[in-house]
Amino acid sequence: MWNPTEWLLYGTATLLLFTYWRYRKAVSMVSDFPGLRLLVSPMSPLGFLLPAMPYPLLTYPGFSFPWVLKHKGFFAKLKSDTVSICAGDGRAILFTADVPFITRMTSYMSREVFPKPVEEYKVLSYLGSNLVICEGESWRRQRRIGAPAFSKGMFERLWLDMRDIVREMVEEEKWMERTSQDYDTPSSTTNSGYQLKQGELLVPNVVDLTLRMALGAIARAGFGMDFDWEAESSFTRGCDAFGNPRRWHWWLVCLGWLWTAADVVITPIHHFYSPLFTTIPTFITAVPIYLWNSWIAAPLRWACGVTFFFLAELWTVFSRPTDADFNPRKIKVHEALHLVAKDSTIRLAIPAWMMLLPIRRMRRMRLAFSSLESELRRLAEERKAHYLRESLDQEQLTDGPIKDHRSDLLNNLVKASMKDGADLEKGQTGGLVSGAIQKGLTDEEIIGNTYIYFLAGHETTAHSLAWTLALLAAYPEYQDAAVEEINNVWPSASETIRLFPPVQMIPKVAAQDVSVTVQTSNVNNAASAAPPTSEDGLISEKKSYGAVSKVDGSAEEVGNQTTFAVKKGTIIFMHTPGVHYNPRYWDKPEVFDPNRFLRGYNKDAFIPFGVGHRACLGRKFSEVESVAMLVHLLRNYSVHLAPTSPDGSVDVAAARAKFSEATVSITLTPKEIPLIFRRRVHS
């Protein structure tokens, strides 16, 4: 029988062999096309948790690498606008910043060859099926139902709703009173010690404002919901109450942790340093330690630890809530939605059972998901009841006056479920049910789609709005132009989204073995002149990145182009920052220059909303919303960077550099950006 050390050795050797086998498989899927060769894939759950590491063998670019490296640190360095990443999990991934390749891949002819890899989106399926996570007939049906809502009527309503939201924000947050007073209290100084002047107002983190605005926009214009600016903080209070020692479950959780710790710590100590234990009188320790340490008793020990946690959970679920406890009914939908969006990536990275752990973060996650679901269900039910009461026919629904919200998204979804949700068109092929095609939406799909419109229409726009305000504060010359004319706002918003694309990577998958042609040298980029060195560590050393070479006989390079075989199942990510910072398509890509959108630009190289038939359905919604918000806000307030010293001066270069410090989760999220709003004096 092997001892534990031998078990460890042979186990590790088997794991390494298996990992190598999977890695070779990944490499062969992309014909060993040059790129990064890693132990852990950045697209894996482990990759999500690991920090960037420069060590040989353990080199890892980090989960946020598309944003951190952009074009210069990735494609330019590897001298190719398409790069492969192969790792020990057996996954082959191509990243591309190559516009002709993207255009070909997303063309009408290629939609069957490069569909959307819907399993990459399973994080978005918790609340039900929706159009983002579907392909084929199911996607067509859901898009057909959702798309008509994005009509002229909705955009007119959106414009007015944005005006109201800005007005409510100013009223609720008492902007007029605050900017009218003479500041003389310490609370009116910024972190840098600058004393606010009359007419000024500090917003410590501008994303807090834009998140609420964007949610208000989709809630009102998209779903005809009531949305009030002020939200309760009941959610955080409820989470804190979970750590309250006066509740029984708290003690059970402690016991669970103690038990687990004892199991993890005492057993190995006893195993390797048993003399320690023999010094204690044997009759007290021998029997319990023998029992504790025996392999037979191990499942029992673990079961005990798990039972403590389980009991604690049962207690929290079934015990009567006290005032101090969290009450899900009190959560505002925007809090739940925000938390769901924030935690979705983590939820994807961890196994389902971990969600049950009585850890505050997990509990918060569970509560956010469940309360969002019940809120969306309530919304749909309410609208169904309304629809039944009025018994409106199709014509009345779409011709109603704007303020009735009769042609909004929710109505489209509910209508589709009630009129023909269960209808199946007989005699056609390719449907969900054999020989038939479903026309409407199921209840589960209504909830799933409501959630997806909220999610897609919320954070993306909110984050880009926050950066737009920050950039206008950092480049006041463009702000003045923007307020003069509405049309001038649009280039600023577009340039922001080019520099800070909220969606970092847009995936496709090769649905069959296929050969692809990509550009492999970066003629325009000075940074790419330096050949990659082995010190870079990341680069697969087998390959030359030179102009003409044959890659293992399976790839052929002619001029600047390489054609190589890609196997079915390979994921291809359109790398948004890679394209937007590619000097091949953008002059001085790092510079904020809204006027480039007025001078004429390569539209194919602007891909924040995706490309082709799966491109963003809410693009126009987001554009109208952004312009409306900027116009209504900047009309009465100018926006400025918060001073970095008590005398009011600002280190503009440092502030601009700080904008790039973003975190990457589902969308690119700005770090704290403090801004000062100054009331405009109108003549």
Tell me how far apart the alpha carbons of residues 567 and 563 are, in angstroms, rounded to a whole number: 13
How many Å is the maximal CA-CA distance in the chain? Answer: 94
Q: Which of 503, 579, 629, 633 binds ligand HEM (CB under 6 A)?
A: 503
The full length of the chain comes to 683
Query: What single-letter amino acid sits at 199?
Result: G
Residue 82 binding ligand HEM, by CB under 6 A: no
Least distance between ligand HEM and beta carbon 11 (Å): 41
Q: Which is nearer to ligand HEM, 407 or 464 (CB)?
A: 464
Tell me how far apart the alpha carbons of residues 161 and 213 are, in angstroms, rounded to a whole number: 10
DSSP 433: B
Least distance between ligand HEM and beta carbon 117 (Å): 10
Q: Which residues are annotated as a binding site for heme?
A: 616
Give backbone dihedrals phi and psi of 497, rounded to 5 degrees, phi first.
-70, -25
Distances (CA, A) of 144 to 114, 126, 154, 199, 376: 21, 22, 17, 49, 21
Q: Which is nearer to ligand HEM, 38 or 132 (CB)?
A: 132
Pair of tokens at residue 675: 């801004």
Question: Could you give the string, one character per residue 121-160, with x where binding to ligand HEM holds by CB under 6 A and - elsewhere?
Answer: ----------xx----------x-----------------
Q: Which residues are annotated as a binding site?
A: 616
Tell me how far apart the alpha carbons of residues 577 and 73 are, in angstroms, rounded to a whole number: 11
Pair of tokens at residue 63: 């989960």
Instruction: Considering only residues 199 through 218, tell me which ones interact with ligand HEM, judged by CB under 6 A.
Output: 218
Give backbone dihedrals phi and psi of 604, rounded to 5 degrees, phi first.
-70, -20
Residue 475 binding ligand HEM, by CB under 6 A: no
Choices 29-37, 57-65, 420-428, 611-619 (CB under 6 A): range interacting with ligand HEM: 611-619
Least distance between ligand HEM and beta carbon 501 (Å): 6
Counting other chains too, the contacts that 276-281 makes at CB distance below 8 Å and 24 or more residues apart are none
Kindly state the number of chain residues that form the binding site for ligand HEM, as judged by CB under 6 A. 27
Pair of tokens at residue 94: 């191509």
Residue 609 binding ligand HEM, by CB under 6 A: yes
Least distance between ligand HEM and beta carbon 318 (Å): 38
Least distance between ligand HEM and beta carbon 619 (Å): 6
Least distance between ligand HEM and beta carbon 103 (Å): 13
Give the Cβ contact number of residue 651 at 10 Å.
14
Give backbone dihedrals phi and psi of 107, rounded to 5 degrees, phi first.
-70, 165
Instruction: Considering only residues 403 through 462, tell me which ones interact with ligand HEM, judged by CB under 6 A.
Output: 452-453, 456-457, 460-461
Choices 95-103, 318-326, 561-569, 616-624 (CB under 6 A): range interacting with ligand HEM: 616-624
Choices 25-33, 260-268, 426-434, 499-507 (CB under 6 A): range interacting with ligand HEM: 499-507
Tell me how far apart the alpha carbons of residues 590 and 120 are, in angstroms, rounded to a whole number: 30
Residue 608 binding ligand HEM, by CB under 6 A: yes
Least distance between ligand HEM and beta carbon 424 (Å): 23
Q: Which of 86, 209, 482, 506 binds ligand HEM (CB under 6 A)?
A: 506
Q: Which of 52, 362, 402, 616 binds ligand HEM (CB under 6 A)?
A: 616
Tell me how far apart the alpha carbons of residues 356 and 309 are, in angstroms, rounded to a whole number: 9
Check: CB of residue 438 under 8 Å from CB of residue 432: yes
Check: CB of residue 371 under 8 Å from CB of residue 336: yes
Q: Closest residue (Cβ) to ligand HEM?
A: 618
Task: Point out which residues bind ligand HEM (CB under 6 A).
Answer: 116, 131-132, 143, 218, 222, 452-453, 456-457, 460-461, 464, 497, 502-503, 506, 608-610, 614-618, 621-622
